[in-house]
Amino acid sequence: MSVQEKVARIILILLTITVPAGVWWYQQVVVPGNYPPGARVVNLTGIAGSGKWTTVPVAGWNYWWKKFSRCDTLIFQAGTPVVLRVTSADVLHSFALPGVKQFQRPMDIPAGRWKTFLWMPEEPQRQPFLCWQVCSPDHENMRGVIEIIGKEKLLEQGG
């Protein structure tokens, strides 16, 4: 084996390790640092094939074989900033939160792109969220509820 082949293999191994580590670091350290202190950050991914929103990370390597859990309810505390990072794993989705004034208009969520919504819920409430864009035969299942709870209810739950 020549020196050039050895160098090429070492570079390939280093890239194989450092690129995924860099992506992980960016997602875990840099992205959350861009939001208000104490904000609750939730990543929500739309999957047309099974007609669901999920908070489980979806990637190319697990999209085809993993059974992702459905996100039916997201619970947040009133007075705490909420950051919803919404993406699509497969096709164009459209995210809507009709009961919240700043999100009444559906926002297109192209596959592989992130849209970020910053929201400061002030009082307890329940609001539906859904996919507005017909994306698959299971489109009608792409809905859930955001529940904003007050401090009293949080204490009752032991939080």
> pTM (2 decimals)?
0.76
Reduce the secondary structure of 12-45 to three states and give it as a string: HHHHHHHHHHHHHHHHHHHCHHHCCCCCEEEEEE
Sheet holding 82-88, edge to edge: 52-54, 40-47, 82-88, 115-119
CB 47 within 8 Å of CB 58: yes
User: How much of the chain, in percent, has pLDDT values that exceed 90?
Assistant: 45
Q: Residue 90 in contact with residue 111, Cβ under 8 Å? A: yes
Q: Strand, helix or coil at 103?
A: helix
Alpha-carbon distance of 126 to 75, in angstroms, equals: 9
Residues 38-156: name the CATH superfamily: Cupredoxins -  blue copper proteins (2.60.40.420)
Residues contacting residue 101 through CB under 8 Å, at least 6 positions apart: none
Examine the pLDDT at 155 and tell me if it is beyond 60: no
Average of pLDDT values for 10-24? 88
* Signed CA dihedral, 16, 111, 65, 62: sign only: positive
Q: What is the mean pLDDT of the chain?
A: 87
pLDDT tens, residue by residue, 49-64: 889 999 998 887 888 8
Token pair belonging to 132: 């507005």
Residue 110 amino acid letter: P
Indicate the Cα dihedral angle 60, 71, 94, 37, nearest 10°. -90
Q: What is the pLDDT of residue 159?
A: 52
**Any idea where the domains of the chain sit in the sequence?**
1-30, 38-156
